[in-house]
A and B are shown apart, each in its own frame.
Chain A
């Protein structure tokens, strides 16, 4: 058995995890995104065929997830830029709240535009 290495987590740590995991998932998604769009090189019909994938509910859910992840990463990233380059104002926890809120709004907006 090893001595305890656990340490209780701060809000800023959770913000870091969200930022890193969202970045990683977005990075893994990018080549797939480019692959689908580059079917346009083979003509409109080829792109249409690739886009039909997006009719699947699972794909729609993934699209929604990616939009939310992108927003989380974007707003969380703005917080980090402020921490690293801006005047010192501590953990900027207001920006953590803003990150979750704006990502939530984006998720709702996406669903709205999906169904109208």
Chain B
């Protein structure tokens, strides 16, 4: 039980740290999105600005990784407190979700910036 408690304490900590990191990313992303949606969305407009850009790749790659830390910890709590899941089940499901975020997210980053 003690190892669980320490792991849970760590999860609390890393969720808050990733939140602080995400705060910066999200503000920048929102500003960028406001400009991007002007005059409608098109693949050409997006890819013109993002393709071949190392900055875009690194920025959004890190964004995806921060999400992969932050989101699953919250999901695990919701599953336990509102979904009635056991800590084990909640942990497994949230790890699965983390994998989905990393794989799909990095695929998207690759798609637009490579």
Contacts and interface: CB of A to CB of B under 8 A. Distances in A.
Chain A directly contacts chain B within the complex, with at least one CB pair under 8 Å:
yes
Given A45-B43, A51-B42, A113-B34, A30 B111 contact: no
Contact of B74 (A23, A34, A44): A23
A81 B20 contact: yes
A112 to B, nearest CB: 8
DSSP majority for the B interface? Answer: helix
Given A20-B78, A45-B43, A51-B42, A31 B101 contact: yes
Contacts, number: 93
A97 interface: no
B46 interface: yes
B30 interface: yes
B41 A44 contact: no
Interface of A: 20, 23-24, 27, 30-31, 33-35, 37-41, 44-45, 47-48, 51, 54-55, 63, 67, 70-71, 74, 77-78, 80-81, 84-85, 106, 109-110, 113-114, 116
Interface of B: 16, 19-20, 22-23, 26-27, 30, 33-35, 37-38, 40-44, 46-47, 67, 71, 74-75, 78, 97, 100-101, 104-105, 107-108, 110-112
The 8 closest A-B pairs by CB, nearest first: A40-B111, A47-B43, A37-B108, A34-B104, A48-B43, A41-B111, A38-B108, A34-B108
